[in-house]
Structure 1
């Protein structure tokens, strides 16, 4: 097992990375427009379309990471697989939100990754293909943190300023309500003994930094395929 001191040390470092990421996130044009109530329904559809490309791949890279986990970490591998299973159909909520906002299902189903999503996708699969890629907990901390810390506020802003109904914001509403549990699971994995792997704590933090930067790029390049 890993000591609470080790886990708390990594979490403090991740919170510092998150604070930097959060400050930059709020300056991204599309997020700033949501926060200021200046977003249009067409721009919201663009967010859903671009986000869908990342979400479709999410369960795939988690499953790939699980396949790269070897003994003696089989319990942790099982946790990764369960996580992948819970997220593999999340894209359907994005599809429904898109259609309920006036979009065409064929358009979102056949959408392409923007250039930021391409970079994020390549990074995640590169890391997931490494032996025992537990540094991806840093990536999950960033991605799941968005649901925990931002999705609920985005739903309120979008519904207030675009007069949206719950069936048009299902994806962000769901993650606002459930990503707290995912963060707790990440902490449990860190406490399971993996932080005794030499250098892993530093790798987790660096992976969080890189993932945060690429996630921002994905948002900055919405529509640029």
Structure 2
């Protein structure tokens, strides 16, 4: 089911659920995740995944901070939530670096990396959207990104450990986000259900979620490109 099949009377939660279901379909076609599910994933695959994720994750807190600065006083609660979230996220890339070094990679090669074409598109979109006045639609981006951590990251970590024999300190970034992002998604759901989102805001949230879902899947598909 895609968002286009939904009736106008569907709630924001219904519409976002449809976006998530479509996102899951795209993730199922990502080559590295297919190999992970099949048990044919390699250490090099995992190295490449962390290498590519780090280049985009380092931008996470900056775009959230920029979004916070774009909210006016009438959106004070959203501004406050964004400031808190930026503070919580700004060290996340360091966990990836520690995981990467824990299985033999070097910080020099990791920090000298560049974004793949999917990461370039994702970060570019996030910074562009964050510059809009009152970028309420970014709640849709958070729905996808935080939802991925809460719903999928720990399962991926467990599967990487099962197939590759990785230690806990080599998958810490993924396991950490199960609990951290579950808390974030709980906070997000409270905002989405608070009644503070009008019809126009709901449309922006859904549209942003659709775009970010496609770009995130592209990021995972275009490793190293």
Deviation at 1:193, TM superposition (A): 4.5
Deviation at 1:192, TM superposition (A): 4.1
The 1:36/1:169 distance shift into structure 2, 3 A limit, reads: same
Hey, what does 2:213 align to over in structure 1?
Answer: 212
Deviation at 1:220, TM superposition (A): 1.2
Does residue 17 of the first structure (1) align with residue 19 of the second (2)? yes
How is 1:85-104 mapped onto 2 (pairs within 5 angstroms)?
85-104=87-106
Does residue 195 of the first structure (1) align with residue 197 of the second (2)? yes
> More relative contact order in 1 or in 2 (CA 8 Å, sep 6+)?
1
Hey, what does 2:7 align to over in structure 1?
Answer: none
Q: Is the 8 A contact 1:41 1:101 kept in 2?
A: no
Hey, what does 1:114 align to over in structure 2?
Answer: 116
Is there any run of 5+ residues in structure 2 with no aligned partner, and where?
A: 1-9
Hey, what does 1:156 align to over in structure 2?
Answer: 158
* TM value normalised by structure 1: 0.93
Hey, what does 1:83 align to over in structure 2?
Answer: 85
Q: Which runs of 4+ in 1 moved over 3 A?
A: 191-194
Does residue 70 of the first structure (1) align with residue 76 of the second (2)? no
Hey, what does 1:5 align to over in structure 2?
Answer: none
Hey, what does 1:131 align to over in structure 2?
Answer: 133
Deviation at 1:75, TM superposition (A): 2.3
Deviations 1:74-130 (A, max 9, x none): 122111100010000011110010011111111111210011100001100111000
- Matches of 1:57 and 1:167, distance apart in 2: 23
Deviations 1:19-58 (A, max 9, x none): 0110110111011111111111111010001000111001
Is there any run of 5+ residues in structure 1 with no aligned partner, and where?
A: 1-7
Aligned length: 216
Does residue 184 of the first structure (1) align with residue 186 of the second (2)? yes
